[in-house]
Amino acid sequence: MPQRKWWETGVVYQIYPRSFQDSNGSGTGDLAGIITRLDYLADVLGVDALWISPFFPSPMKDFGYDVADYTDVDPLFGDLATFDRLLEEARHRGLRVIVDWVPNHTSDQHPWFLDSRSSPQAVHREWYIWADAKPDGSPPNNWVSMFGGGAWEWDEPTAQYYLHSFLKEQPDLNWRNSETREAMYNTLRFWLDRGVDGFRIDMAHMIMKDPELRDNPMREGYEGPDEYPRFVHRHDQRHLDMHGVFREINTLLASYPDDRVAIGEVATDRWDRFVAYYGTDGDGLHLPFNFDLIFNTPWDADAVRASVDGYQAALPKNVWPNHVLGNHDQPRLATRVGRKQARVGAMLLLTLRGTPTLYYGDELGMVDADIQPDQQQDPVANRQPGQGRDGCRTPMQWNDSRHAGFTAPDTSATWLPLHDDYRTHNVAGELTDPTSMLSLYRQLLALRKMTPALHQGNYKAIEETPDGCFAYLRQEASQRMAVLLNMTPSPLRVNLPGISTGAMAVSTHLDRSGRVSLTDLELRADEGVVIEL
Ligand code: GLC
């Protein structure tokens, strides 16, 4: 067995900084707030790394994913000195820190873009993707923005269109320009030199487009109302040249000590295309985020097994898998599958082979809030009704006091309203309840940490399972763990011939222990168990 790296054996926890902890009564979370919660992450939960969504200076049109300066901190969140303190305090507790890097686009207020649009001859003109109108004045091609509407914005003074794959306030950088590339790599060096442990790379698969800017083909048979799925996104993203960039990033990180990590937000469709993000012999992204269980997989045992098996089988040698069940762009796990199955989801995520990424609040069973139109913040909510992402971004629920401990009780309002179930679902309350979701996460995290079979062992699906049950073995040397997940709301009987008995390590119901028979084991409704064989 090779010596595993920290980002292989560890667990990553995503913090959406606006919503984790406010330290100054602004109603929006900040870096100083995160510092006050590091003990929770290190000691109460026991995760290994935090990934913090963007906290850089930004006009906040897309809540920080529109970066106006890659090498500073927005005053809303603090300053560089506070970030350095966060890093030091995290280090002190054995926590790694991963920052979010947004290479596909900047804010339209970034000095590079302000210069770029100032004149066709501007020094930074080629740093963005400019193109002439068609003879009839229409945009250069049929590409559409992921946030709705066309992807090209006409710039009257310089008489060209610029590309924006998201909002028009988020112009796409031109990664084919070597100066842009070098400048962006310098922003990586800036944070690496400060001591960060790696990056989550936003929309990594989008950075390279078809150099000829060809039209996307229409998707056959699509009849829905949305524009984006109407096209096969063949030319506006995923140009194979992106792998060259990932190789360069990999090399850059490798020039620093201590295994800095590159995690990439990428498209997850076919496994052969997905595993290509790892590069050849692991010279690409270390962990291309695997969203297959969120996007492409119905929540049933056969489909989940097919996803996990398909991924494990497609993985090249010398690379490491990972799994994601929630983030700041998707409805929360407990909203998608319900709170009972969310416990099974927690067990799945924390017992699979591969680095798990947890989304803040999922450990409490937080569900999406219903945000009223007058309280909406996400630009997507206004442009594509029904698709807003505010619901999964509400403030963290720490206790049952006013504002849930997220900010001082006398703060007039929080940037997004809290979910009103914070009185019953919060850290303080769940800590005193031995069967709460938080108690389950703590047990699973502790078990994963102390069990090599779980944090680095191999994986094998178990065949002889009843319908509705997904089961697998994890093994490292002589240590063997069986995970059996009842993904249905009815009890199931499991009979694993050849394995007679084992010791119950944890049940999602948190009420079982001792030796159990595996030739006749009852899994209660929505129950998952981990058994040491
Ligand atoms: C990524 C981010 C999302 C953002 C988008 C544009 O998908 O996760 O929040 O809106 O990129 O930067």
Which is the closest atom of ligand 1 to the Cα of 147? 10
Q: Report the distance separating Cα 143 and Cα 70, nearest Å.
A: 27
Q: Which of 166, 295, 392 to mutate to test ligand 1, by most ligand atoms within 8 A of the CB atom?
A: 166
For 441-459, how does the pLDDT look when each residue is reduced to its tens digit (9 = 90+)?
999 999 999 999 999 999 9
Residue 500 is predicted with a pLDDT of 85
DSSP for 259-295 reads --EEEE------HHHHHGGG-STT-S-SEE---HHHH
Which residue has its alpha carbon closest to ligand 1 atom 4?
Answer: 65
Q: Quick check: CB of 65 below 6 Å from ligand 1?
A: yes
pLDDT at 385: 80
Closest CA to 342 of 360, 321, 370, 367: 367
How far away, in angstroms, is 107 Cα from ligand 1 center?
13
pLDDT of residue 1: 58
User: What's the whole-model pTM score?
Assistant: 0.98
In this prediction, the residues of the chain whose per-residue pLDDT falls under 50 are: none
- Which of 200, 202, 390 to mutate to test ligand 1, by most ligand atoms within 8 A of the CB atom? 202
Distance between CA 146 and CA 237 in Å, rounded?
A: 11
Burial class (CB in 10 A: 0-12, 13-18, 19+), 211: exposed
Q: How many A from CA of 389 to the centre of ligand 1?
A: 10
pLDDT in tens, 392-413: 999 999 999 999 999 999 999 9
Rounded Cα distance, 122 and 101, in Å: 25
Does 206 sit in the ligand 1 pocket, CB within 6 Å?
no
Gap from CA of 65 to ligand 1 centroid (Å): 6
Give how far the C-alpha of residue 179 lies from the chain's centroid of Cα atoms, to the nearest Å.
29
In this structure, what DSSP letter does residue 89 have? H
Give me the phi and psi of 449, to 5 degrees please.
-60, -40
Q: Any idea what DSSP says for residue 231?
A: B
Query: Is ligand 1 within 6 A of the CB of residue 62?
Result: yes
Answer whether 137's CB lies under 8 Å from 156's CB.
no
Atom of ligand 1 nearest to the CA of 66: 12
* Ligand 1 pocket, mutate which of 61, 101, 329, 389 (most atoms under 8 A from CB): 329
Burial tier of 497 (Cβ tally within 10 Å: 0-12, 13-18, 19+): exposed
- Residue-wise pLDDT for 124-175, tens only, equals 999 999 999 999 999 999 999 999 999 999 999 999 999 999 999 999 999 9
Give the integer Cα–Cα distance in Å for 528 and 102.
38
| Tokens 């494990």, residue located | 312
CB proximity list for 413: less than 8 A, separation 6 or greater: 27
Active-site residues: which are they? 202, 265
